[in-house]
Amino acid sequence: MQTASPLIELLGDKLLSKAVDGAGASSVSTADALKDKKAIGLYFSAHWCPPCRGFTPKLAEFYTADLKAKGLEIVFVSSDKSETEFASYFGEQPWLALPFEDRARKAALSKKYKVQGIPTFVVIDAQTGETITTDGREAVMEDPKGAQFPWKPPSFWDALGDEFLSGTDGETVGLEALEGKTIGLYFSAHWCPPCRGFTPDLIEAYKKYLKDKNLEIIFVSSDRDQKSFLEYYGEMPWLAIPNGDKRKGMLSKRFGVQGIPSFVLVDGKTGETITTNARGNVSSDPEGKEFPWFPKALVNMTTDGPEGINEELSLCVMLEGCDEKTTAQAQAVLEKIAEASKAAKEDTLFFFAPAVGQITGRIRELTNLGKPTDKPVMALLDIPDDGGYYVSPATEITEETVSGFLAAYKAKALERKQLG
């Protein structure tokens, strides 16, 4: 039995194509429409969105002049409020579109690519369906003629470079200083009060135990001038990328750094990311017993927070009012299932709450779970699905109840509720 291509699984059998004269639209085979293309741009946009209305004519100009000839095809994924608005807006566009009535596929695509706002332009490989970049809008604006098409982001090693400052006197070292080590990238700046508060803690941890654990830190500065950079870096006992170096932007983009301070750990042998949230680990593991802080399959949201809960499907097991035996049994069950899910590379996060905290209170409030009792409560939060959530009727945490709850979600057999 022949399996469907990745693009057909992603976009369906049929897309909409413009007529040759630009009037109207007709259904076309996805396979035929995307044949021989190098990359596909998924354009999440809507007629009612002013930034979209500004970007669409530019994208159409670049597509028509150069990008189509280079092997780019674009598929419009509409967030319009009606088919009439969709038809009017698509009439201005020279590419393909996902049928407006296929709202379920539109929602799935938005969720898959974590579309938080529009316009968003995601570029994927036309053969494999693998993501090339989710920041295609910026790529197109920086390279409208497609000289760097299909805009594959630089590898970690390309972004990192091969020369680093080793002190404020201008002395430099090469990649040999990182050989066989865990690499810590410390995004920080002199002008940032939280950075000024965290840096002494990181210095203390580095001198006390992190350096001995074969970690080398590289300061990636957001300082506004050389004087501030040198003054701030002068306090630090590790390496640095020169202030104003273009590598700062490439590394920030690669690791999705939205604010500072941010502390990222990378495996120096493979270049694979270990964690983008090592800042919290410095505080929660003051002796580095769990270093290099690989993300846990099961996370205690009371002590470690709910990182990723806004981006991924998350199972939250609320145990704040349960006795120690019930909590321990539930944790053991969840550990086993979470580890299996992680090994299978499933996009589900697992959290448990053994005690009352600010985060647990907020989750109970948003999901109308009520106050803690002596019975566990399981909830699946699907925030990427426009704030959806599901509650299990089970009052015990066993392999059967947890696996059954997850299976029912996958089978779309649960009642969807809306976070409020």
Query: What are 116-156's pLDDT values in tens digits?
Result: 899 999 999 999 999 999 999 999 999 999 999 999 999 99
Could you tell me the two tokens for 256? 């999705």
Q: Is the alpha carbon torsion for 282, 284, 286, 289 positive or negative?
A: negative
Cα-Cα-Cα-Cα torsion 289, 294, 296, 302, nearest 10 degrees, comes to: 60
Domains of the chain: 6-142 (3.40.30.10), 157-284 (3.40.30.10), 298-418 (3.40.30.10)
Q: At 241, which amino acid appears?
A: I
Contact 114, 134 (CB under 8 A): yes
Rounded Cα distance, 30 and 98, in Å: 10
In the block, which residue shows the tokens 């670049």?
Answer: 62
Which three-class secondary structure state does DSSP give residue 150? coil
Rounded Cα distance, 208 and 199, in Å: 14
Nearest to 320 by CA among 383, 349, 362: 362
Report pLDDT for 18: 78
| Secondary structure (H, E, C), 373-398 | CCCCEEEEEECCCCCEEEECCCCCCC
36: left (phi over 0), alpha (psi -120 to 50) or beta: left
Give the list of residues 6+ apart from residue 17 with CB closer than 8 angstroms, or none: 25, 26, 27, 28, 33, 96
Give the list of residues 6+ apart from residue 195 with CB closer than 8 angstroms, or none: 188, 189, 260, 261
Could you tell me the two tokens for 338? 């979470």
- In which band, very low, low, confident or very high, does the pLDDT at 24 lie, cut at 50, 70 and 90? low
Report pLDDT for 1: 37
Rounded Cα distance, 31 and 38, in Å: 13
Question: CA angle, corner 111, sides to 367 and 363, nearest 5?
Answer: 15
Choose the weakest-confidence range: 21-25, 246-250, 335-339: 21-25
**Residues 34-41: what's their mean pLDDT?**
96
Cα-Cα-Cα-Cα torsion 86, 87, 93, 99, nearest 10 degrees, comes to: 70
Question: Phi and psi (nearest 5°) for 312?
Answer: -130, 155
Nearest to 302 by CA among 383, 363, 261: 363
Could you tell me the two tokens for 295? 């993300």
pLDDT at 393 over 60: yes
- Beta strand 182-188 with 215-221 is parallel
pLDDT at 410 over 80: yes
pLDDT at 8 over 60: yes
Report pLDDT for 177: 96
Rounded Cα distance, 210 and 414, in Å: 46
Rounded Cα distance, 220 and 398, in Å: 46
Contact 43, 61 (CB under 8 A): no
Rounded Cα distance, 93 and 12, in Å: 20
pLDDT at 22 over 60: no
Rounded Cα distance, 76 and 217, in Å: 43
Rounded Cα distance, 184 and 253, in Å: 16
Report pLDDT for 305: 84
CA 272 to chain centre: 15
Report pLDDT for 386: 83
- In which band, very low, low, confident or very high, does the pLDDT at 19 lie, cut at 50, 70 and 90? low
Question: CA angle, corner 159, sides to 211 and 253, nearest 5?
Answer: 100
pLDDT at 198 over 50: yes
For 255-275, the pLDDT digits (tens) are 989 899 999 999 999 999 999
What are residue 213's DSSP bridge partners? none
In the block, which residue shows the tokens 């426009």?
Answer: 386
Report pLDDT for 4: 60
DSSP 81: S
User: Mean pLDDT for the chain?
Assistant: 94
pLDDT at 3 over 50: no
Contact 359, 310 (CB under 8 A): no
